Amino acid sequence: MQTIGVIGGGQLARMMIGPAIELGLELKVLAESSGSAARDRATTVGDFRDLDTVLQFARDVDVITFDHEHVPTAIILALEKAGVAVRPGSEALTVAQDKIVMRQILEDLGHPLPVWGVAETTADVEGFLAANGGRIIAKAPRGGYDGKGVAVVTESVQVQEWLALGPVLMEEMVDFSRELAQLVARRPNGDTAMWPVVETTQANGVCTEVTLPAPTGDDRIIEVAAELGRQIANDLNVTGVLAVELFETPDGRLLVNELAMRPHNSGHVTIEGSVTSQFEQHLRAICDMPLGATDSRHPWAVMVNVFGAMDLGRYGRLAESSDVKLHNYGKEPRAGRKVGHVTATGSDVADTTSRARAVAEIFHADI
């Protein structure tokens, strides 16, 4: 039996459990705490920054993968040196973990990017501000997620604390018409599979809603995004699922915003929306199995995140929403925390969207 070790016990690891069972794979999780979302398969509770803990956990598994991108590079390299199959591997993860490295490599490969630069001093920030209309985005190169480590900057003093820690990535404020995400899966043997590009909606840097496929009167966007995703997965030698977050500009160009080398919030919609979900596909890819079909099961699928609390006590109010599917991450309530998502499917995008939103609203709680 093939045994998979997931570092990190969040909802991504949690949503791998069901597909692993159906595929007949054994899943083990190295979780941060006993109450993690993936606690059902948390065979180890410990610190993913501690080499001994991680090596011990890896001893009983055939392949290591990740729930998040915060595992230190030194640990990933040590795993590989110990002969452990790590997927995605250090070569790819190094790019995903540092936004400056990622920008540089994507630029060298010729992929379309927002205008960007690196600041080491406030003078660098001032220069970039002056060249880009006085309003830019600054990003800490490492450790950010869900809007953390990202700021809109109009004065260099705003970046001063980050600069004390090291270089800061600067980007133009892209005048985008909307945000998209291209999901790709890639096997070690180089086979790739792309889902149709999705449209994503963000609030304060956090994904709130995803539509599969991205509504468009122009199928060119679907093809361009798929090809861009495929190329990046190949160029960076990614194994597993890769999410390429994209800006679509008013003149119809696609620019690469961020990369995530793991199942991603923009792909939750594939659980009901696609013949193969991103979670099943990630497992197939890292185990070097043939990839599953990425065709859609429905004309439209819409996912809406649930923040704060997703309590079972409200399930009784779902009688009128029998076709919307719930995904409860089993997390303690906390203001603004992603605690679950819901997905609706249907033949009309407006109707599908409103059904998904209505169910998410049932769980809305100000905490």
Binding site for a copy of itself (CB under 8 A): 1-2, 14-15, 17-19, 21-25, 40-41, 193, 272, 275-276, 289-293, 295, 297-298, 310, 312, 315-316, 318-319, 321-323, 325-330, 340, 345
| Cβ-based nearer residue to a copy of itself, 151 or 291 | 291
CB of 362 to a copy of itself, least distance (A): 11
User: Using CA atoms, how far apart are residues 89 and 79, in angstroms rounded to an integer?
Assistant: 10
Residue in the structure block whose two tokens are 């099943």: 280
CB of 341 to a copy of itself, least distance (A): 10
HSE (CB half, 13 Å, CA atoms) of 137? 17
* Beta strands 85-86 and 338-346, pairing class: unpaired
CB of 23 to a copy of itself, least distance (A): 6
CB distance 338 to 307 below 8 Å? yes
CB of 136 to a copy of itself, least distance (A): 41
Give, as one character, the DSSP assignment of residue 276: S
| Cβ-based nearer residue to a copy of itself, 128 or 279 | 279
| Cβ-based nearer residue to a copy of itself, 220 or 334 | 334
b/e 42-55 (16+ beta carbons within 10 angstroms → b): bbbbbebeeeebbe
Token pair for residue 20?
């692993």
Which amino acid belongs to residue 106? L
| Cβ-based nearer residue to a copy of itself, 55 or 358 | 358
CB of 25 to a copy of itself, least distance (A): 8
| Cβ-based nearer residue to a copy of itself, 113 or 193 | 193
| Cβ-based nearer residue to a copy of itself, 25 or 254 | 25
Burial class (CB in 10 A: 0-12, 13-18, 19+), 300: buried
| Cβ-based nearer residue to a copy of itself, 2 or 158 | 2
As a three-state string, the secondary structure of 75-109 is HHHHHHHCCCEECCCHHHHHHHHCHHHHHHHHHHC
User: Using CA atoms, how far apart are residues 12 and 25, in angstroms rounded to an integer?
Assistant: 16
Main-chain phi, psi angles of 35, to 5 degrees: -100, 20
Which amino acid belongs to residue 79? L
User: Using CA atoms, how far apart are residues 266 and 269, in angstroms rounded to an integer?
Assistant: 7
| Cβ-based nearer residue to a copy of itself, 23 or 358 | 23
* Beta strands 63-66 and 3-7, pairing class: parallel
CB of 287 to a copy of itself, least distance (A): 8
CB of 282 to a copy of itself, least distance (A): 15
User: Using CA atoms, how far apart are residues 54 and 35, in angstroms rounded to an integer?
Assistant: 19
